[in-house]
Structure 1
Amino acid sequence: MTDIPSPRSGAGRVPDWWDALYDAPDGEDARAVEPETADPEPEVEAVAPGWLTPQPDYYPRPHTPVFLTRAPDRIAISGKTRAGLYNASAAGAGWALGLYDPLAAALADCGHDSTAGALVLGTTTCLLIAHTWDRRTRHWWPGIAWAARIPLATALLALALWAPAAP
């Protein structure tokens, strides 16, 4: 059976700082004791500012352009008008992307059999999109939230433009 050397035996297995921690008197924080063999840190001479050191105003500091920060002061659009433009542009984008045609065709197909069935289909589609998709994307960055509004605005547009009396 081999003997395991104690930390004080100096067998080289334990670092020097261990002895300082091991010998710390009771009541003192053993971590505050520094080893006696520590070299003092060399002092660094302060370099006087010269032509090689960058000046504080050397790097540009980006800021928001003035026309963006002053625009809300100059444009007086009510909140309802802004919301209407937001939703109308999303519906127009859905129309341009071709999302309107499948929804309008589904409403027209269901409307041939029953007007109430087409209304239920359109209302259910709008509520389903609003609950599962739009409700979770409203807090996103405004540009992405607008893109996420396109399906709901297009479904509402298809429901609003569906005419059951049209041949």
Structure 2
Amino acid sequence: MSEHEWWAPQTPPVGKDGWAAPDIEPEQEETEEAEDGPRTFAPQPDYWPRPHTPAAITRIPDRAAAAISPGTRRLLYNASAAGAGWGLGLYDQFAGAVADCAATTSIGGALVLGVGGSLLIAHVWDRRTRHWWPGIAWVARIPLATAICALALWAPAAT
């Protein structure tokens, strides 16, 4: 038989005298237990624990959503990004550019620079990074939050 015909039925083995070997059937043991009674070592469906995620992990998002409103969560997200920009020194650069534009041109020019810069950062950078993993998206939000913070804290009458 070739290796390609493994599915074909096989002929029974032939003995030395040319006759086919008789089929040998194993003896069947008789059980002492009755078929109707419970078996001693029968598997129980509730014996083995079924793996599942602990309730403490699955309930945390529900509890966090109930504890903080979406608006407060948004405020904390953006305020912490603006605070990080302040700590990194981005605030001083953007606020200095707005104040410099106001001193050389006018308040309208400074507002155009501040609003235009914020819109440019929002369109080119922030819009494309919102769907990233939350930690990386927060880091990508720092320039926009800092630019809006610098524009909001800029006082035209102080210059």
- TM-score, normalization by structure 1: 0.60
Q: Residues 62 and 154 of structure 1: is their aligned pair in 2 closer, same or farther, counting only changes over 3 Å? A: farther
The aligned counterpart of 1:50 is: none
Aligned to 1:73, which of 44, 48, 63? Answer: 63
Q: In the alignment, what sits opposite 2:83?
A: 92
Which digits, 9 at most, give the CA deviation of each residue in 1:35-72, with x for residues without a partner?
Answer: x42296xxxxxxxxxxxxxxx99xxx895782674353
Partner of 2:147: 155
Q: Which has the higher contact order (CA 8 A, sep 6+)?
A: 2
- 1:160 CA displacement: 0.5
1:38 maps to: 3
1:87-135 CA distance string (max 9 Å, x none): 0000000001111111011001001130000000000100000000000
Q: 1:102 aligns with which of 93, 96, 102?
A: 93
The sequence identity of aligned pairs, in percent, is: 61
Aligned to 1:144: 136
Separation of aligned partners in 2, 1:69 and 1:139: 24
Alpha-carbon separation, structure 1, partners of 2:133 and 2:54: 17
What are the within-5 Å matches in structure 2 for residues 1-16 of structure 1?
none
Q: Give 1:118's match in structure 2, choosing from 110, 122, 142.
A: 110
**Superposition RMSD in Å:** 2.6
The size of the alignment, in residue pairs, is 115
Instruction: Give the SS at the match of 2:68.
Output: coil
Which of 1 and 2 has greater Rg? 2
- 121 and 143 in structure 1: CA distance in 2 versus 1, 3 angstrom threshold: same
CA distance 1:64–1:109, shift in 2 (3 Å): farther
Displacement, 1:79? 0.8
Alpha-carbon distance in structure 1 between the residues aligned to 2:75 and 2:87: 18
**Which segments of 5 or more consecutive residues in structure 2 lack a partner in the other structure?**
7-47
